[in-house]
Structures are given as structure tokens and as C-alpha cells.
Amino acid sequence: MDAIILQILNGLDKGSAYALIALGLTLIFGTLGVVNFAHGALFMIGAFCAVTLSRLLSLSHEVAIPGQVDFLGNPATRDVPYVYDIFGEAAGAAIIDWSVPLAILLAIPVMIAVGVIMERGLIKHFYKRPHADQILVTFGLAIVLQEIIKYYYGANPIPAPAPQAFVGSFDFGALIGFEPGTIIYPYWRLVYFAFAVVIIGAVFAFLQFTTFGMVVRAGMADRETVGLLGINIDKRFTIMFGLAAAVAGLAGVMYAPITSPNYHMGMDFLVLSFVVVVVGGMGSLPGAVLAGFLLGILESFASMREVLEIVPGLNQIIIYLVAIVILLTRPRGLMGRKGVMED
């Protein structure tokens, strides 16, 4: 029982990442009708916002350590971050320690800027072009973005640890009546899940309760009509693109402590998130979220030893197997609308 609860928690956690990426993909697809293969790269750039901030905060000057030498025999030096000089050693260390959550502040403007520039500079010229062209141009963009990151940050993963306050685990089981110590879960992963729920909720609330959101939703349903009403839908869609980029970026920032960011993490997530979007049903926001969590949980269960002993290798194929079964039983995914992306 406790094993199953733990796997559900794992699944929700994995699903959070899938759902957040898929949500942004669906927003872009639903509003702009664009298949964005560069969406994984946006997630990756978000994660590198965390890395960048932690590097910026750790910018240091060298102080010689008397009496020690480095590996080449030169006098050894010690790096002292400038924030230590400004805020004092304790406060400076705390700021560096909190660099991942702080990176959210950096990521929001950066990601919105990246999204808006992408949309205005490139994507808007592709609204009327075939999906194949959209795929090619955004795929090219994704390669360019990740190669730029690789050029500056290298190919190896770079650690971006969570703040000390979130290191360690929470005894989740004790809370719901299990023996203490049976169901413990890392704080940061619980934070990630909660964060994802908040972001998803905020996006839905934004679309549901603001006039801006209402226009966008109407535009998703019928772009031309809304355009005829004299509403400048293009401008709103640009903002939507920025928003979707920000969602992907925030998902990336907060994910950095879970797996160390590297330049190709976007591509790793790209195919998976497309599967999630399609399983959820093209153009359906609730579908994307639902499919994200569903696939995350199923993937977690499939990696249990008890399951693998019965079906070896199931963990390798589970996502795709589920996708096939769902698409064959539900022609337009879990919550897809008719006629969207079917031709």
C-alpha cells in the first residue's frame, strides 16, 4: 500500500513537469494553431535561468590562500563571491543558497521576452503556413537555441541544488495515518508539485475569469469571428505566446534541482510532451493536464520491480503503449475536439 502511494506521489511529480510543458504547448497550439517544436527548448532555457542566476550570484574575485599551491604548483587562490562583500558572508551565502527560487524572478521577464521575440520575429510569419513548415522552422530554432546554450555552458549537466531549507524529506505517511518513516517524500518535490498546481490553476483562472482570457478562449474557438468584432486578437496572441513560454520556463527553473540541467534536456522532453498533448486531445487544456498526470503515474507504476518481473521492459515502452491504446479507443485523445489537427 505505502509503495503504491509513493509511486502515485512520484507519478504526480513527474506528471507535474509533463503537464506544465504540455499546457504551454496546448496554449500555443490552441491559440495560434502553431505546432511548436521549440517548446522543449523553452523549458531548457528556463532551467538555465536557474543556472545562470546561481552563476551570477556566485561571481567571485580571487583571494590568495597563503601557504597553499594549486595543481600546477602556482599559489592557490580562493574565490570569494561579490555578494559576500556586499551583504556579508552569512546573508551572501543565503542568497546563493536560494538562487533557484530567486531565479523565478529572473525567468519570468526573460521567458516572456524570449516568447514575444520568437512570436513577433518568427512564428507570426508561419500562421498560414502548413504544419510541416512550422515543424521544420521551430525544430531548426530548437537546435539553434540548444547549441547556443551548449556553446556557453558545455554539454555536461550543471548542478542547481535546492535551498538547504528544502533538503531532506517530509514524513507524508505520518500525516495520513501510516507508521512514521514509511512514506517520506523530499520537500523539494512536494514544492514542485504544489508549484505546478498553482501555475496550472493560475492559467485556468486567468483564461476563465479575465476579459483577456475570455477573448483568447473565444479566439481559440473561432479566430475569424473574434477578429471581425474589431478586437486586436493578434496582440493578445503574442502575449499568450509569452505566457506559454513563461509557463515552460518556470517549469524548467523549478525542475533544475530535480535533474541537473543540460543543453539537450528540452529535446528529451519534447517528444514526450507531444505524446502527452495528443493523448490529452489536441487543443484541450484540461486534457493536457490530465494526460500529463496520468502518464506520469502510469510510468511510475511500470517501473516497479514487481511489474517488471511480470513484463520485462515495460518501463521502456509504457508511455507509448498507453498512447496507442488511448488513441485507438478514444479517437481524439482524452478530451480532444473534433476536427482539430486531423488533416
> For residues 216-245, which are near another protein according to CB under 8 A?
none
**Binders of another protein among 86-105, rule CB under 8 A?**
none
Please list the residues that pair with 170 across neighbouring strands: 185
For another protein, which is the closer residue by CB, 242 or 261?
Answer: 261
For another protein, which is the closer residue by CB, 205 or 325?
Answer: 325
> Could you tell me which residues come within 8 angstroms of residue 112 by beta carbon, excluding any fewer than 6 positions away?
242, 243, 245, 246
**Least Cβ distance, residue 137 to another protein (angstroms):** 5
**Least Cβ distance, residue 317 to another protein (angstroms):** 5
| Cα 107-99-267 angle, rounded to 5 deg | 50
HEC string of 162-210 equals: CCHHHCCEEEHHHHCCCCCCCCEEEHHHHHHHHHHHHHHHHHHHHHHHC
- Considering only 13, 25, 49, 53, the residue that binds another protein (CB under 8 A) is 13
**Binders of another protein among 141-170, rule CB under 8 A?**
141-144, 147-148, 150-151, 154-159, 161, 167-169
- Distance between CA atoms of residues 330 and 281, nearest Å: 9
For another protein, which is the closer residue by CB, 98 or 188?
Answer: 188
* 116 burial via Cβ count (<10 Å: 0-12, 13-18, 19+): middle
197 near another protein, rule: CB under 8 A:
no
**Least Cβ distance, residue 168 to another protein (angstroms):** 6
| Cα 184-185-190 angle, rounded to 5 deg | 145
**Least Cβ distance, residue 214 to another protein (angstroms):** 27
312 near another protein, rule: CB under 8 A:
yes
14 near another protein, rule: CB under 8 A:
yes
